[in-house]
Chain A
Amino acid sequence: MNVLATVPGWVALTIGALVLAGALLVCIGSVGLLRLDSFYRRVHAPTLGTTLGMYLVLVGTIVFFWAGEGRPALHVILIGVCVTVTTPISLMLLARAALERDRREGAAGIPAANPPETGADGGE
């Protein structure tokens, strides 16, 4: 990392803080995927990594190349846009598959196909 050696200390610290904060969120998201108990709860956790976690790493990347090469690596914004736009597709697919399975199995706390009213599942 000779780029970090050439930039002022506070810039290197900022880059480090951004990337580490992003990585921490991704890590918490992964821990959540492991810790939370039901499918619908678990699927929330990785979205930490695909949203703010990713944005922080991207901003860190932009600042890193800005400081190192003198021009902002703005094209990494495209990663952010593409991930944000495509995440709902796979997440929706997973959620709908789980809902279909649970409805067929008659699991408790799952709204019917034409729900008359909503209800909390309590997650047990």
Chain B
Amino acid sequence: MTRWLPHPWFALWLLVAWLLLQQSLAAPTIVLGIVLALVLSWALGKLGLPRVRVRSLGTLLVLLARVFADIVRSNIAVAKIIVSPWPRYTSGFVTIPLEITSPYALALLACIITATPGTIWVSHDSRRQMLLIHVLDVIDEATWIAHIKQRYEQPLLRIFR
């Protein structure tokens, strides 16, 4: 199993992407999709990437729903700052000490932070485990650190334990 299917999540994603692109659920399409997913995920396994271990799918889904809500909220917040004639806000850098080390968890955190307008991932120091982000409207630095750590990092720690 591990040897022949080293990246089951990648294989599943390839199959889903294939079926979506083909826009069909006919048997030959599904069979070809499975073959492609197996061969390509096997080839990816040859590159020796670390394996993805999703420990808690439920937590992942909860996290995605939460991120979506945050995307909507922060879109409105940033749009308000842009359109207001006399915007009052303070931008700044925030340094966050991180506990997560899994490259996949970090990648997902990067997507989350970038996808919520108002925060951008600037740099991550993997040795000191420090993340530097830029926030468009920092109301309180400690609140931002707690926000990122509790809302995103804790679920990520549970998912990629």
Give the interface of A toward B (CB within 8 A): 25, 28-29, 31-32, 35-36, 38, 40-41, 43-45, 47-48, 50-53, 55, 71, 73-75, 77-78, 84-85, 87-88, 91-92, 95-96, 99, 109-111, 114-115, 117-123
Given A43-B120, A52-B72, A88-B114, do A28 and B82 touch, yes or no (CB 8 Å)? yes
20 contacts between A and B (CB under 8 A): A28-B82, A40-B91, A44-B118, A44-B120, A44-B136, A45-B82, A50-B115, A53-B75, A74-B23, A84-B115, A85-B111, A92-B120, A95-B120, A95-B122, A114-B125, A117-B95, A118-B93, A119-B93, A121-B92, A122-B91
> Which B residue's beta carbon lies closest to that of A35?
B82
Q: Does B121 contact A (CB under 8 A)?
A: yes
Give bound CA distance, A53 to B72, whole Å. Answer: 10
Q: Does B132 contact A (CB under 8 A)?
A: yes
Besides A25-B79, A73-B23, A111-B95, 8 other A-B contacts (C-beta < 8 A): A28-B82, A28-B83, A31-B82, A32-B82, A45-B78, A75-B20, A78-B21, A92-B114
Judging by beta carbons under 8 Å apart, are B121 and A48 in contact? no
Which among B78, B92, B95, B132 is the interface contact of A48 at CB below 8 angstroms?
B78
Instruction: Mark interface residues in B85-123 (1 if CB within 8 Å of A CB, else 0).
Output: 000001111110000000000000011011111111111
> Which B residue's beta carbon lies closest to that of A31?
B82
Q: How many residues belonging to B are interface residues under a CB distance threshold of 8 Å?
A: 39
Judging by beta carbons under 8 Å apart, are B20 and A118 in contact? no
* Chain B nearest CB, measured from A21 CB (Å): 10
Q: Does B54 contact A (CB under 8 A)?
A: no
> Which A residue's beta carbon lies closest to that of B13?
A81
List residues of chain A with CB within 8 A of the CB of B125. 114
> Which A residue's beta carbon lies closest to that of B92?
A120
Give bound CA distance, A78 to B78, whole Å. Answer: 26
Judging by beta carbons under 8 Å apart, are A47 and B115 in contact? yes
